[in-house]
Amino acid sequence: MAPIKVIKIAFILMAVLCSQYSFAQHNDKPKLVVGIVVDQMRQEYLYRFWDNYSENGFKRLIRDGFNVKNMHYNYVPTATGPGHASIYTGSTPANHGIVANDWYNREKRRPMYCAEDEAEFLVDGPNSEKKVTGYSRSPKNLKSNTITDELKLFSNGRSKVTGISLKDRGAIFPAGHLADYAFWYNTESGDFITSSYYSDNLPKWLNKFNKRKVADSLLNVKWEPLLPLEKYSHSGPDASSMEKLFVSKKTSEFPYDLKKLRKKNGDFALLPQVPFGNTLLTQMAKATIKGEKMGQDDEIDFLTISYSSTDYVGHGFGIRSKELEDTYVRIDRELSELLGFLDDEVGKGNYLLFLTADHAASDHPPFLESSRLPGKFFDTAAIKDSLNRSLWKLYGQGDYISHLDKIQVYLNTVKTSKREVLETSIALLESMEGIAEMYVPYLHNTRNFEIDKIFRKSYHRQNSGDILLRFKPGWMPKRLEGTTHGTAYNDDTHVPMLWYGWKVPLGTSIAKHTIDQIVPTLSFLLDIPLPSNASSEPIHELFD
C-alpha cells in the first residue's frame, strides 16, 4: 500500500476515534443524573481528612470536576427533611413546607412526621401482605414540585426517577411526587422497602437484592479502623465521655464487634449507626441502576442517593471522633466504587453527578467549653415549662404552649388574644439565657435584617410555629453525646458542593452560594423547566 494511502487511512481512523471521544464527553444530554447527599457532612471534611482519602473518591470529584467551596443553607432549622426538600425543589421551607423533620399539626393537635401519609401502606415484600394503613410514607407534605418532577414531565414520563436512602425522607423528597420509586431501609428486616404511593409490590430485582441479605452479612463483621489508628490525626482520642456507648460495650473505642453487639442494639437497626450502612447503600445504588436499567436509553434518568450513616455516626460520636474520621475514609472508598461502576455501566462523560449535604453539624458544647470557646446546652422541656408557668400566673391555668421543639414555639391562644400572649411570651423568652433573637411573623418583628431574611425563608404559615427562636452561637439542645445541628450559623450551614461528569468544567468557586441554587443549575444544564418555586440564580461559574 502506498505511504500516502496509509497516512490517509490513519488520519480517518484518528478523526473517527476523536469524534467518538468528543461525543462521549459532550453528548447533547447525559444518560443519567446522580444526585448524592452525604447526611451531616461539613464542608471542611473534604480537607480535614484529605490525607487519608484515596485518589478516586472525593479527590477525583475535586480534581476532575467543579468545586463550589462556599455553599450554604439559608434558613432554619438545618435538618434532614428540610435539607433534602430544599436541594431538590430549589426553594426553602417557606415555600416547600417541610419546616423540620417533625412539626406540630394544629388541625390534628399532635406532632407529625414530615413524610407521613396515613392513606398509604408500607410495601415490604413480594406480595405486600401487611397492608396496614395509618402508617406509611409519601411526598404528600411537600408543597413544591422538584427538579425530578420536572424531568418526568419534560420526558412525558419516559425518564426513570428513583430515590434511595437508609432514611425514608432522604429517599422520598429528592425523588419527588412523580417518581417511579423511592426505597429506604427497614430497620426491622434489613430489607429495602417502599410505599403503596409508588407501587403495591416491590420490583422483582429488589426482591432478589433483599434475598441476598447484604445487611445481615455486614452486621457479622468487626468495625475496626480501615487505616492504622495513628493515621487518624485529625480527630480526638479514641475514647471520650462525649461519645455514645453501645449496649453491652463498656468503652467508645475500636474495635466494635457488630456480631456481638447487634442483638442488644436493635439488630438491623444497628447498621445505619455504623459506616457499613453506607456500604449497603452503595450496593443498593448499583442494583437500582441495573434493575431499573438506568442510563441505558436516549432519555435522561435520575437517581438520588442519600448516605445516612454519616449522620448517625456524627450524632453518636461527634465531629471530632475517630469513628467519624473512619466513616469518612470509608465513604470515600464507597464513592470510588460507585464512580467506577458508573464508568463501566453508563460510560465516562455520559453521567452528570453532584454531591452535597443536607446540613452540617456543630461541636458538642462540653468540647467548646473545655476549649474555652462559647457554648452551652438549652433544655426545650424546661423552656416550655417555664413559659407555661409564667403565663398561668397572668392568665390562669391552661396549656398555653401547644408544642415547643428546638426553635419553634406553637401557642394555644384559646383563652386570650393571640397578640397579648405573643407579646407576653416574647418578653418572657427575652429574659432567658441563650436566646439571641426571635421571629414572630404575626407581629412582623425582628431586630436583625440578616436574620430576618433567614427567618422569612424558614417560615411556612401552615406548618411553622408562632415564634421562631435563634439561640446564641455554640448553644445546642441538651444531649449527653455526639452532636446535632439546626442553627443558621456556619457550623450547620456550610456544606460541600461538588459537580462532576457530563459538561462540567474543571474549576473552583469561592463566591458564596446557597442551597436553592442547585436546582436552577440543573435546570439550565439539562434544558428542562424550573420547578414552580425555584427562584434563585443558577451557579453561573459552571456556565462561564
Residues with a catalytic annotation lie at 80
Rounded to whole angstroms, how far apart are CA atoms 355 and 61? 9
Q: Is 168 annotated as a binding residue?
A: yes
Identify whether the C-beta of residue 349 lies closer than 8 Å to the C-beta of residue 25: yes
167 marked among binding-site residues? yes
Residue corresponding to grid cell 471522633: 321
What are the grid coordinates assigned to 93, written together? 421551607
Sheet holding 71-72, edge to edge: 494-495, 71-72, 513-514
- The continuous run of DSSP H or E covering 161 comes out as strand 161-165
Residues 6 or more apart whose CB falls under 8 angstroms from that of 357 comprise 37, 38, 39, 40, 41, 42, 43, 83, 495, 496
Task: Name the residue among 471, 385, 467 with its Cα closest to residue 435.
Answer: 471
How many other C-beta atoms can be found within 10 angstroms of the C-beta atom of residue 407? 26
How many CB atoms are located within 10 Å of the residue 327 CB?
Answer: 27
The DSSP element (H or E) to which 457 belongs, if any, is helix 449-458
Burial (CB count <10 Å: 0-12, 13-18, 19+), residue 17:
exposed
**Three-state secondary-structure class, residue 320:** coil
Cell of 331: 465513604
CB of 288 within 8 A of CB of 164? yes
β-pair type (32-38, 497-501): unpaired
Q: Under DSSP, is residue 98 helix (H, G, I), strand (E, B) or coil?
A: coil
Task: Give the DSSP per-residue string, 31-77.
Answer: SEEEEEEETT--TTHHHHTGGGS-TTTHHHHHHSSEEETTEE--SS-
Residue 101 assigned to a binding site: yes
Calpha distance 493→377 (Å, rounded): 19
Annotated binding residues: 101, 167-169
Annotated binding residues for substrate: 101, 167-169
